[in-house]
Each structure stands twice: as C-alpha cells, then as structure tokens.
C-alpha cells in the first residue's frame, strides 16, 4: 500500500455505527482491539478489546483510542468449524462526537510502527479545530441561557 487510506465511520452516542470489516452471520465472531507486539500472544499481538455495542452500535469508542494501533477482526466459522478470518489494521487518527477516522495499514506491524513515528499533526489540528468549534457552540448556548 503506497498511500494510506482513511476509513471514516459515523459515531453516535459514543459508539461506531459501522466497521471496516464485520461478519454478520450467526457463526461470525467480530472484535475491535488495540494492539501491541507480544511474542507470547496469539499471532504475536497483545490485544485489549474495545467494548462492543448492541443493536445498531458496533464498538464503544473513547478519545483514549486516538493515536493507538487497532485491529478489527471478522471471522466466519463454517458448519464444519473451519475458520475464515478477515483482519483490518489501522491507527486511530481522530475521534469527534460525530466520526472516527482510522488510517489503514496492510499489517499489524505497519500500524504499530506508524504510532512510533509521532503524532499525526494534521489529525491533531483537525481535532483541535473541531473541539474549538464545539466550545464556541457551548459558549453560545450558555450565553443564551443567561438571558
């Protein structure tokens, strides 16, 4: 992958309402996890699973995910028990009340390495702009209630 792609998912009520990979079959198993190298763990990755949502909500997300490498897993298990895995790796670059942006990488190692190069300045500036805009909205609402 020469140029990284950004996956953008809507966020509602603090949860993602879509995912880059997902197995909807009843024998499917899905997850989102932050990842780190761990030679003793399955696949060489230590995983901290992100809480799952219910109904239309996929995963409960918070700002502590920004800058973290993540793995999305979507495995289908056939009736005979054979696993058909799908993996998607990325780095969470921004999270607002309305969307999450995740930079995609082909491998877990690439995603982890991308977090070691320092923060994504553009993502930080975009997040700051969004937060300042939200702060202006809150200040305007507070001014209205003082009348």
Q: How far apart are alpha carbons 130 and 108 in whole angstroms?
A: 29
Secondary structure of residue 100 in the 3-state scheme = strand
Q: For residue range 35-69, what is the model confidence (pLDDT) as tens digits?
A: 999 999 988 999 999 999 999 999 999 999 999 99
For residue 1 the two structure tokens come to 């992958």
Residues 91-103 have pLDDT tens digits of 999 998 899 999 9
State residue 2's pLDDT score: 47
Residue 18 near residue 30, CB atoms below 8 Å: no
pTM, two decimals, is 0.77
What is the model's pLDDT at position 120?
65
Query: Is 85:72 a contact under the CB 8 Å cutoff?
Result: no
**What's the pLDDT tens digit per position in 115-135?**
887 666 776 777 788 889 889
Domain ranges within the chain, ordered by starting residue: 6-118
């Amino acid at each position: 992958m020469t140029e990284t792609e950004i996956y953008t998912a809507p966020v509602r009520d603090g949860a993602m309402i879509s995912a880059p990979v997902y197995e909807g079959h009843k024998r499917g198993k899905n997850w989102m996890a932050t990842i780190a190298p761990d030679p003793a763990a399955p696949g060489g990755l230590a995983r901290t699973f992100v809480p799952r949502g219910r109904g239309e909500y996929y995963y409960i997300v918070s700002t502590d995910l920004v800058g973290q490498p993540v793995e999305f897993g979507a495995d289908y298990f056939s009736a005979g028990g054979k696993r058909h895995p799908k993996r998607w790796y990325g780095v969470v670059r921004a999270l607002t009340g309305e969307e999450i942006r995740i930079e995609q990488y082909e491998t877990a190692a690439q995603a982890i390495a991308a977090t070691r190069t320092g923060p994504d300045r553009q993502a930080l500036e975009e997040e700051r702009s969004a937060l300042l805009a939200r702060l202006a909205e809150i200040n305007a609402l507070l001014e209205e209630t003082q009348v």
